[in-house]
Amino acid sequence: MTETTKPELSPQVRNALTVLIVGAGPTGLTLACELARRGVSCRLIEAAPGPQPGSRGKGIQPRPAPAGGSRSRQNRRISASSVLMRPCCQPLLRTAWYSDYQETPSLAPSCVARHRGGMTTTLITGANKGLGFETARRLLEAGHTVYLAARKEDNARQAAERLGGGVPLVLDVTDDASVQAAAERVTRERDSLDVLVNNAGISGGRKEPADVTADDVAAVFATNVLGLVRVTHAFLPLLRRSAHGVIVNVGSGLGSVPFVLDPGRVEYTVANLPYTASKSAVAMLTVQYAKAFPELRVNVVDPGYTATDLNGFRGTQTVEEGVAPILTAALVEPGGPTGTFLGRDGTIPW
C-alpha cells in the first residue's frame, strides 16, 4: 500500500473499532473529529503533565530521529492496540510518541479551524442519561463547554458531578416557562450558542395501533415534537449570533419511511405509532428549519438501535457507538451539509 492510498473502513470494522488518541490538543481533536465523521468511536486521553526535555507537547516525548535522517511516518504512529491491550498501558500513556497527523492530507483540521481561539458552547437537552450524557462526555473530553439540560435540578447537577464538568441547566422541554428561564440564563452567561442538540425524547410505551388514542399521541408529540420546537425557538437568537450555529435534532431510523417499509430492517418490526410518527415529524421540522435559516447547519441524525432506557436497554449497540452521528453533526464544518438525515454510515433516506 502506498502512502497516498486512503482505505475505506467497512461498517463491520467501524462498529468494532475504538481508537485511543493520546494527547487532547488541536492535533488530537482534529483526528477525533475526522474519525467521528467516519463513524469510528474514539477516546481522547490527555498526556501526563510534566514535559520532558525536548518534548513537543505537555508530557509527550518525541521519538529520537534516526541518525542522518528524519523519522518515518510509520514510526510516528501511535499504536492504539498496544495501549489498549497491554497491562503496562499507564507507562505507555506517559511516554507516548508524538504523532503529527496534520501531515496526512485526509485529516483536514476543519473542526479545529471552525472555532479557532476557542471550543464550542453546546447545549444538550436530556443530557443526564443515555445518548445525551455520552454526547456531553465526549464533547467535554475534547474541551468544549457543555450545558447539561435536564428537567430536574438534581438530575442536571448529578450529571455534571459524574462527568466532572459541564454546566447544569434546568430545562423541561414541555414547559414554556422552564425553557424561557433556561434561555434567559444562557443569554446572561454567553454572547452566543454554537450548538444545540435536541436530544430529549420519550417512547410513549408500547401499544398495538388499534389501542392508541389521541391522548397517547399527544403525550409523545408534546416532548418529541413540540418540545423541540419550543427549545429551538427560544435559543434561535443565541444560535444566530454564533459565527457558526448548528442544530442537531436526534431523530430515529423509525422516522424513515423507506426503513420502516423494508422487511429486512429492524425498523420494520416496530409498531410504535406515536413514537415513529413523532420522529417523522422531527425529520420534516429539520428540513424546514434548514430552509428557513441557511446560515445555520441544521441536521437530523439516526443514532441506530442503541441500548438506552428508551427501549429498555434492548438495543444492539452501545451509547458510545450511537453518539457517532450526533458528534458528526455537532462538529460539522462551516459550509457543511444542512437539511440532511445522517446515520453512522452516512446519509439515510427520509
Active site residues: 275, 279
Helix (H) or strand (E) holding 139: helix 130-141
Side-chain-side CA neighbours of residue 282 (13 Å): 35
- Per-residue cell: 105: 492530507
Contact 198, 231 (CB under 8 A): yes
Query: In Å, how far are 184, 238, 266 from 270, measured between CA atoms?
Result: 39, 38, 7
Residue 98 Rama label (left phi>0; alpha psi -120 to 50; beta) = beta
Provide the b/e sequence for 241-250 (b: ≥16 CB within 10 Å): ebebbbbbbb
Helix (H) or strand (E) holding 325: helix 324-330
Task: Choose among 130, 131, 143: nearest CA to 30.
Answer: 143
Using CA atoms, how far apart are residues 207 and 211, in angstroms rounded to an integer?
A: 6
Contact 18, 131 (CB under 8 A): no
Say if strands 145-150 and 121-125 run parallel, antiparallel, or are unpaired. Answer: parallel
Using CA atoms, how far apart are residues 347 and 270, in angstroms rounded to an integer?
A: 21
Q: Is 44 helix (H, G, I), strand (E, B) or coil?
A: strand
Q: Which residues lie below 8 Å from residue 119, measured CB to CB, with a gap of 6+?
A: 142, 143, 144, 145
